[in-house]
């Protein structure tokens, strides 16, 4: 009897101890991202920004009174390794899994989280399949749909630059670039129903020469008054260089893949180039909160972010933390419900909305920047009026 009593006391003590421990046990965020391999160049900057936000939250007392701990597993830019890294982190017991900034390389890890009933967030996939209709209903992406980048440039060029006869140059290498051009084409039909685009052509990112495409642009009549180029580096830089070298000086409208200045070496003194992006990394963003982010990042890492994509990582943690606070728990279902209730939620990267069907942004403003004489300058924050239809998002129609 005495033994039973002391046993019960010990059990009660143990239960209490577990209770206390749970309150203080840290929240764990796993990162299944590329620390090596070529994706590292794209996962690295947003990862750094995400770690910065976590540090800030911890410095301010943590989330729900608990510290945030991070665990990183390298995907080595391999799909199989991504699945392994995802599973490994899920087994370690994380509350959120952050995955690579690309559908193909992020999805395998995302699936591991989805199967385990954990929320996953991509650092920057621009494909709506990184969500309900693709990887699963617990999976989100911090980026907007690539189509919106094309729509933004079509609207902005039509309304602000008076462009009436654009030519579309489409990089067919990956879905991201094709989606950008699909967005531009679809928006142009709505903006200018009577005057279609001047013409269009395709290229591959690793084509060493686009001479034939240039010859076709030059023989287009009436001559195009702008070129919309959906691409990414290095192919996009090479195309820009060849266009300018061939004496085609009309405005070039690009997509976010061409953001920032690290590629400008290919086209010295580039002018008349317009690119939508998430933020200016040159300190002249019209939105003060982004300049604050830029300062904080520069202070922590001793250099400005390599790319505007970094802010996506910062806001990724920001929005998940908000949802956790509102749900008062890290429970997947509750947090996802809070995220899906976001309606123009003010985040550093801009007003953010989700719904039961869409875990990607389709109406978040982008900053339009121009390059003149090889220098970037912020022009204005543009929010698309044309919202991409589901058919356009999944590229099964317009």
> What does the block give as tokens for 352?
């953010």
| Beta carbon of residue 31, minimum distance to other proteins (angstroms, whole number) | 18
The arrangement of strands across the sheet holding 68-74 comes to 68-74, 27-33, 96-99, 120-122, 139-141
**Closer residue to other proteins, CB minimum distance, 117 or 265:** 265
* Binding of residue 200 to other proteins (CB under 8 A): yes
* Binding of residue 100 to other proteins (CB under 8 A): no
* Binding of residue 7 to other proteins (CB under 8 A): no
Alpha carbon separation from 212 to 218, 242, 243 (Å, rounded): 10, 11, 11
Of 316, 336, 339, 347, nearest to 54 by C-alpha is 316
* Binding of residue 197 to other proteins (CB under 8 A): no
**CA dist., res. 339 & res. 275, Å (int):** 29
* Binding of residue 266 to other proteins (CB under 8 A): yes
**Closer residue to other proteins, CB minimum distance, 56 or 301:** 301
**CA dist., res. 369 & res. 357, Å (int):** 31
* Binding of residue 76 to other proteins (CB under 8 A): no
Let me know: does 114 contact 99? Beta carbons within 8 Å: no
Among 120, 142, 267, 312, binds other proteins (CB under 8 A): 267
> In the stretch 324-343, what mask flags binding to other proteins with x, by CB under 8 A?
--------------------
**Closer residue to other proteins, CB minimum distance, 270 or 327:** 270
**Closer residue to other proteins, CB minimum distance, 45 or 365:** 45
**CA dist., res. 312 & res. 372, Å (int):** 26
> What does the block give as tokens for 172?
């067919």
Positive or negative torsion for Cα 316, 319, 324, 325: positive
> In the stretch 201-240, what mask flags binding to other proteins with x, by CB under 8 A?
xx-x-xxxx-xxxxxx-x--------------xxx-xx--
**Closer residue to other proteins, CB minimum distance, 209 or 372:** 209
* Binding of residue 283 to other proteins (CB under 8 A): no
| Beta carbon of residue 109, minimum distance to other proteins (angstroms, whole number) | 19
Among 57, 71, 72, 246, binds other proteins (CB under 8 A): 246
| Beta carbon of residue 200, minimum distance to other proteins (angstroms, whole number) | 7
> In the stretch 150-189, what mask flags binding to other proteins with x, by CB under 8 A?
----------------------x-----------------
Stretch in the footprint of other proteins (CB under 8 A) among 65-73, 266-274, 330-338, 348-356: 266-274
**Closer residue to other proteins, CB minimum distance, 176 or 354:** 176
* Binding of residue 306 to other proteins (CB under 8 A): yes
| Beta carbon of residue 172, minimum distance to other proteins (angstroms, whole number) | 5
Q: Which residues bind other proteins (CB under 8 A)?
A: 37-42, 77, 172, 200-202, 204, 206-209, 211-216, 218, 233-235, 237-238, 241-242, 245-247, 261-268, 306-307
């Amino acid at each position: 009897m005495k033994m039973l009593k002391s046993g019960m006391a010990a059990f009660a003590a143990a239960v209490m101890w577990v209770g206390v421990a749970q309150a203080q046990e840290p929240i764990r965020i796993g990162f299944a991202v590329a620390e090596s391999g070529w994706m590292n160049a794209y996962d690295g900057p947003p990862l750094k920004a995400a770690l910065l936000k976590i540090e800030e939250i911890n410095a301010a007392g943590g989330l729900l009174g608990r510290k945030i701990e991070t665990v990183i597993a390298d995907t080595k830019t391999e799909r199989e390794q991504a699945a392994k890294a995802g599973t490994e982190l899920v087994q370690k017991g994380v509350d959120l899994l952050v995955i690579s900034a690309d559908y193909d390389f992020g999805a395998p890890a995302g699936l591991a989280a989805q199967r385990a009933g954990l929320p996953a967030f991509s650092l920057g996939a621009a494909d709506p399949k990184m969500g309900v209709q693709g990887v699963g209903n617990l999976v989100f992406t911090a980026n907007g749909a690539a189509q919106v980048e094309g729509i933004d440039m079509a609207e902005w060029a039509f309304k602000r630059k008076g462009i009436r006869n654009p030519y579309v140059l489409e990089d067919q290498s990956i879905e991201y670039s094709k989606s950008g051009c699909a967005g531009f084409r679809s928006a142009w039909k709505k903006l200018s129903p009577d005057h279609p685009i001047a013409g269009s052509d395709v290229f591959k990112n690793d084509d060493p020469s686009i001479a034939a495409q240039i010859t076709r642009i030059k023989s287009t009549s009436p001559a195009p008054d702008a070129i919309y180029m959906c691409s990414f580096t290095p192919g996009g830089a090479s195309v820009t260089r060849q266009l300018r070298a061939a004496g085609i000086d009309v405005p070039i409208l690009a997509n976010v893949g061409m953001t920032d200045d690290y590629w400008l070496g290919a086209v010295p003194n580039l002018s008349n180039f317009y690119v939508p992006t998430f933020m200016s990394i040159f300190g002249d963003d019209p939105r003060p909160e982004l300049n604050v982010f830029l300062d904080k990042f520069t202070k922590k890492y001793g250099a400005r972010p390599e790319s505007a994509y970094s802010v996506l990582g910062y806001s990724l943690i920001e929005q998940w933390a908000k949802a956790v606070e509102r749900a008062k728990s890290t429970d997947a279902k509750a947090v996802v419900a809070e995220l899906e209730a976001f309606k123009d939620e003010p985040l550093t990267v801009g007003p953010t909305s989700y719904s039961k069907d869409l875990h990607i942004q389709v109406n978040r403003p982008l900053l339009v920047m121009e390059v003149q004489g090889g220098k970037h300058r912020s022009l204005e924050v543009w929010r698309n009026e044309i919202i991409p239809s589901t058919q356009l998002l999944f590229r099964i129609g317009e």
